[in-house]
Chains A and B, each alone.
Chain A
Amino acid sequence: MKHYDVVCPFCGCLCDDLEITVENNRIIGVDNGCTLGNAKFMGKERLSSPIRRNGDGWETISYEEAVGYTVDMLLEADRPLLYGWSGTHGEAQCTGVHMCELVGGIIDSTTSVCHGPSILAIQEVGHPGCTLGRVKNRADVVIYWGCNPLEAHPRHMSRYTTYADGYFLDNAFRERKVIVVDVRKTETARVADEFVRIKPGGDYAVLSALRAIVRGKGDMVPASVAGVSRSQLERMVAMCKDAKFGAVFFGLGLTMTKGKYKNIRNAIELVDELSRHTKFTITPMRGHWNVYGSNEVFTWMTGYPYAIDFCRGIAFYNPGETSAIDILARKECDACLIVGSDPGAHFPRGCAEHLADIPVVVIDPVPTMTTAFANVQIPVAVSGIDAEGTAYRMDGVPIRVKKVIEPTLPSDSEVLGDIFARMKEATGYD
């Protein structure tokens, strides 16, 4: 049996044109997907039942026992951290917020280690953004800054920019100019019309220089800024000003380097400056599948997009203080529930050491590096493969994802719903 127009459950592109072939409730083929998406659909290392640490090994336990352990852990904690949420669908994220409010914990998503700085910048100066469809049909200049879509978002350029047809472009491939700004010559930089190589940590200075040049103050910019000659910066500004519609995409090369959210603020203010001459927009290259959805769900439910502290009964938000890495590195939580992410693979050593010292429950379909720190892991169906739900694309467009095989395990929503129901029962919460 073949399923058409399936949404990919891997990165923030949420490509919705995949064709999945299923036989005997097993996926045997993926068409139109990239290497990363194919690997997710074809993955076979799923956990089949909940496990609990037993000395140096693991024992299989029932869902009932696993849920009971999680409820006790969260209710006994003084400051539990509920982290992850980007690998699951919006309905499960909603339940997570309710749970966090009930136990008086902190809820944070993988945003705080990817595009959290982008949101901080947006809160300072706003977001001149647009949908990917608008970029595809109109953009004749595309800037990729601190990101490498050919390897991290492999279909981004073919679906939305360089290799995509555009309704308002006669010959999109030839008309579109691509500028890549990075510290090294990436695969994406090799196909760029203009590659701007900057010194590590020099993004802010280059953005400031570009803003000054756009404003006609280029004469006061030094001859070289962070490894980039003034003449190249002037050429880049000329390309941008000549554009009918420009689109900036940026990645962790900008958000997670020196200056962090101030880099993004500077980039947004450059886009604002360019929009006095032509039309420009800016979009973050969101990585982990539904991480954008976690920001949407958290915001509509709490007023804040990530790193929300409910310990005092009301929502308090202060990334740097209430974000997962900071809390774990400072040992400021005493229990942790991790849903649909793998901090064990990505967090600093100090954070992993604290995870090893406190009770941890992981809700994830597969064993991950984080499993090494877990006391209990509860396997679930994969959103977009054997579970349905809603996810948000990197440009903020919500997309309903289907299931292509019948589930043999409960979904995130079902497991979290069960935990929440048991917590309400134990606390008398109405």
Chain B
Amino acid sequence: MKVTLEVKPRRKPYLPIEAEGIMPRTFFEGADGLTVYRGNKELALEEIFSVAIEGEAASVDEVAIEILGDSSRIKRIGEYMDGGRIHIAGDIGMHCGNFMSAGEIVIDGNADAWLGREMRGGAIRCHGNAGDYCGAGYRGEKRGMRGGTVEVLGDAGDFAAETLAGGTVIIHGNAGDLAGVDMKDGVLTIMGETWRACANMSGGTCYVHGTVHDMIPTFRNVGRETVGGEVFTRFAGDIANRGKGTLFIRNYKYMD
């Protein structure tokens, strides 16, 4: 089954649309009467999107959703997704792939904040940049993302992989401030630069192939180590938190 949703022009284009119903299982089970929210107004899906559905599916994994047009203010696409595929041709709004447990989301453009929040499984690949809290948790939550993979080919904002508790986050560009803060488990890889990586971490592993600026002063330098042909400095910490995390860094600078 192929579902094509093209975003229509809106009179108030900046007001966000909340569309957590847009995921493969909804269309597999029949999306008649599916609604989305523009602020406090509940609207039929067709008021916001031009909808085209072709073919049938024997399982949720055979459902592919294509989102076209300006979807930069469409929130919660793929929330609780448990199979199938979503392809977003442009940018996507906040909370894309919240809590997803299986399936694949591919974003050709940029993703707004909280991409893959508290994700349990599946894969998200963002070809542009990701906003703040990529692969992170919710407010006050002790454990964030717990499984699956988030891959960002551009840069990520601040607090990427905050409270990471499982799974893999890969950022090919730079990551903003406090990447991997309070992380507990899982693997975070940053190919570019970042700031104050893995502050207060208690577990898990982080690789930074670029430079960590304003390095947190409470990590213990374990020594040089070669990983995948690259030489890293290995740190253990965060000691301030009795942490048992591991941090591999190519270059680092303290704020002294």
Bound Cα distance A413, B38 (Å): 30
Bound Cα distance A105, B16 (Å): 13
Specify which chain B residues have a CB less than 8 angstroms from the CB of A209 in the assembled complex. 217-218, 240
User: Looking at the complex, which one of B142, B196, B199, B217 makes contact with A221 (CB distance below 8 Å)?
Assistant: B217
B213-256 to A contact mask, C-beta < 8 Å, 1/0 = 01011101000000000000000001111100000000000111
Given A311-B37, A320-B132, also A201-B15 (CB < 8 A): no
B139→A318 contact, CB < 8 A: yes
Closest chain-A Cβ to B101's Cβ sits at a distance in Å of 21
Query: Does residue B140 face the partner (Cβ distance < 8 Å to A)?
Result: yes
Cβ-closest chain A residue relative to B75: A321
Cβ-closest chain B residue relative to A211: B240
Residues 322-337 of A contacting B (Cβ, < 8 Å): 330-334
Bound Cα distance A416, B78 (Å): 40
* Chain B contact residue count (CB 8 A cutoff): 40
Closest chain-A Cβ to B215's Cβ sits at a distance in Å of 8
Bound Cα distance A209, B218 (Å): 6
Segment at the interface with B among A137-145, A222-230, A359-367: A222-230
Query: Does residue A389 face the partner (Cβ distance < 8 Å to B)?
Result: no
Given A224-B256, A312-B18, A334-B15, also A104-B40 (CB < 8 A): yes
B40→A318 contact, CB < 8 A: no
Query: Does residue B155 face the partner (Cβ distance < 8 Å to A)?
Result: no
Query: Does residue B39 face the partner (Cβ distance < 8 Å to A)?
Result: yes
Given A78-B12, A262-B178, A311-B40, also A208-B238 (CB < 8 A): yes
Closest chain-A Cβ to B97's Cβ sits at a distance in Å of 16
A255-276 to B contact mask, C-beta < 8 Å, 1/0 = 0001100100110010000000
Query: Does residue B170 face the partner (Cβ distance < 8 Å to A)?
Result: no
B200→A319 contact, CB < 8 A: no
Given A201-B214, A215-B240, also A120-B140 (CB < 8 A): yes
B241→A205 contact, CB < 8 A: no
Specify which chain B residues have a CB less than 8 angstroms from the CB of A313 in the assembled complex. 40
List 19 interface pairs A-B (beta carbons < 8 Å), by A numbering: A78-B39, A79-B40, A104-B40, A123-B139, A199-B255, A205-B216, A208-B218, A211-B218, A220-B239, A224-B256, A225-B254, A227-B255, A262-B181, A311-B18, A311-B39, A320-B113, A321-B114, A332-B16, A333-B15
- Seen from chain B, the residues whose Cβ lies within 8 Å of a Cβ on chain A are 12, 14-16, 18, 37-41, 73, 94, 113-114, 132-133, 138-140, 142, 177-178, 181-182, 196, 199-200, 214, 216-218, 220, 238-242, 254-256
- Seen from chain A, the residues whose Cβ lies within 8 Å of a Cβ on chain B are 77-79, 103-105, 120, 123-124, 199, 201-202, 204-205, 208-209, 211-212, 215, 217, 220-227, 258-259, 262, 265-266, 269, 310-313, 317-321, 330-334
**Knowing that A124-B142, A221-B218, A265-B200 are A-B contacts, what are 19 other residue pairs whose CB atoms are under 8 Å apart, sorted by A's residue number?**
A78-B40, A103-B40, A202-B214, A205-B254, A208-B216, A208-B238, A209-B218, A211-B218, A215-B240, A217-B218, A220-B239, A224-B256, A226-B255, A226-B256, A262-B181, A262-B200, A310-B40, A311-B37, A332-B15
